Amino acid sequence: MNLRNLTTLTNYGDASLPLPKFIKQREKSSGGMLASYMGGVTIDGLFLSGSQSDAGMGSLGEGICVMLGADSALINSEITLCDIGIMTMGDNIVVRNNYVHDLFISVDGDPGIDPNAVGGAEGIFVNSSHVEVAFNRFINCTIPARWVSK
């Protein structure tokens, strides 16, 4: 989803109802769910599922569910079935009160390479400064990279 012209994506209606769901089939090269490279975006109260790269070392970023640019926020949301749940790419970001769970990643490469050198499923990858990460739950986001044949 291109967030270039949006500033807020949020829940609607009765807060006691389930979160609005945005789901992609988790399959090779399905790509990321939301990316706010331009920044200044708030994502509040959404269910996001199903980002996967093609398992190539050069395209691991396609498996990131939510990519946050500067001055953005991800709050009160649920993320699942992605390679990487959240990545920050700009300063002054808030990631608060989210539930990130059941993530996994596959990587093509030599089985002799240490999976820790390429990472595995990650709840959040903080790649910037002045980031508040508070009151989140990260469950089952520790599966090491699984090697797949080339």
Which pLDDT tens digit goes with each residue over 54-65? Answer: 776 667 778 889
CA distances from 101 to 8, 16, 87 (A): 23, 21, 15
pTM, two decimals, is 0.82
Average pLDDT over residues 18-34: 84
CA distances from 97 to 73, 115, 124, 136 (A): 11, 29, 13, 5
Q: What's the confidence (pLDDT) of residue 105?
A: 76
Mean pLDDT (the chain) is: 82
Name the residue among 59, 142, 76 with its Cα closest to residue 103: 142
Q: What's the confidence (pLDDT) of residue 122?
A: 85
Cβ-based neighbours of 144, under 8 Å, separated by 6 or more: 115, 116, 120
More confident residue, 5 or 75: 75
Q: Strand locations in the chain, DSSP E?
A: 8-10, 21-23, 34-36, 42-44, 47-49, 64-68, 73-75, 78-80, 84-88, 93-96, 99-101, 106-108, 122-126, 131-134, 137-139, 146-148
pLDDT exceeds cutoff 60 at 116: no
